[in-house]
Amino acid sequence: MNGLRQHPFLVAGLLVAGGAVLVEGAVMAGSHLAARSARRRLDRAGREWRSLNAIVPTPTPENTARIEAELARRRGVLAGLVAQRAARAAADAAGRLDPDPVPALRSEAFFAIAAFVEKMRAGAERSGVRLKPDERFGFSAYAHEAPEAALLAGVHRERVTVQRLLAALFEARPSELLSVQREHPSRPAGPPAGTPPARSGLGRGAGADGSDYFELDPRAAGQFPGGGRTTAFRLSFTGRTAVLRSLLNTLAAAEPPLIVRSVEVVPAETTSAGSAPKPRGAVPLAGSRLSCFTVVVVAIDCGPLRAAGS
């Protein structure tokens, strides 16, 4: 202790040197930590670079050609998917996609017609279209029994067409559906030669008893290329002119084709629900008044339908 007191400058120098050593150590420790952090960042950047380098091909002529070929292939796949979707949407809108084949048994036909009636009732309810309580959409003859075995394919074809017509009509949102009638099956394919023109209007009904069938005026049947079988249908409904216009526009673009053969208009107050309208003179197709429209549509048979199990 006495020695330290005798050499105060030496003690001060030792203290200064010790402090310098401590400061230098702290600086070195901080530098080491910073170096370790920088090293970790460098390693992470190196891994990311290697990962990106593995994903992104080098822009060589070979890689460019492969990328262009893959791009062209994927564009072709996309175009095919878009075309398939558009074709399916168009076919579905036209009512061509019937999920059920031609029933092979009478019992199958009976349940198919019952399901069709329920589906059409639900569609009318969604569109706010009024129906008769016992509406069967032209198939009341099969409310309690199935079609005969020989009529299974024909009735199925007619049911598919009526579904297309009703889908277009419900989309137009009429006020009320008065009746759906099918052409009486006794008419031969195409108008017979020398048939005199009927005195009544085109598609005049067989009666006002709500029958499924109506007698088609031969003048409304027409002749079509190939001489194929045609079947006529008659829709009677109430609504405004915009409803009729919407329906006709939809039918004009239908595929397979649906040919509108006649349109009759009477004031709605002159008709009663469930009866065919009876025109009493020309009624203009303009204005906002509620009218009763009767549209006769002819469908062309485009070939045999697929049978169940085929």
Q: Is the pLDDT of residue 178 over 80?
A: yes
What is the C-alpha separation between 235 and 183, in angstroms, rounded? 11
User: What average pLDDT does range 54-74 have in this prediction?
Assistant: 79
What is the C-alpha separation between 68 and 74, in angstroms, rounded? 10
pLDDT tens digits along 210-219: 578 888 776 6
Q: Is the pLDDT of residue 170 over 90?
A: yes
pLDDT tens digits along 75-104: 888 887 777 767 666 655 544 444 567 888
* Phi, psi (rounded to 5 degrees) for 229: -70, 140
Q: Report pTM.
A: 0.56
Q: Is the pLDDT of residue 285 over 60?
A: no
Q: Residue 230: beta bridge partners?
A: 300
Q: Is the pLDDT of residue 287 over 80?
A: no
pLDDT given for residue 89 in this prediction: 63
pLDDT given for residue 303 in this prediction: 53
Q: Is the pLDDT of residue 301 over 50?
A: yes
Contact of 289 with 267, CB cutoff 8 Å: yes
Which sequence spans correspond to the domains of the chain? 2-56, 105-300
pLDDT tens digits along 111-138: 999 999 999 999 999 999 999 988 999 9
Instruction: Strand 176-183: give its sheet, edge to edge.
Output: 213-214, 176-183, 230-239, 291-300, 258-267
Report DSSP state, residue 139.
-
pLDDT given for residue 90 in this prediction: 61
pLDDT tens digits along 260-277: 888 998 887 654 444 444
Using alpha carbons, list the distances in angstroms from residue 89 to 80, 83, 245, 273.
14, 10, 22, 34
Q: Is the pLDDT of residue 308 over 60?
A: no
Query: Which is it for the CA torsion 298, 304, 307, 310, positive or negative?
Result: negative
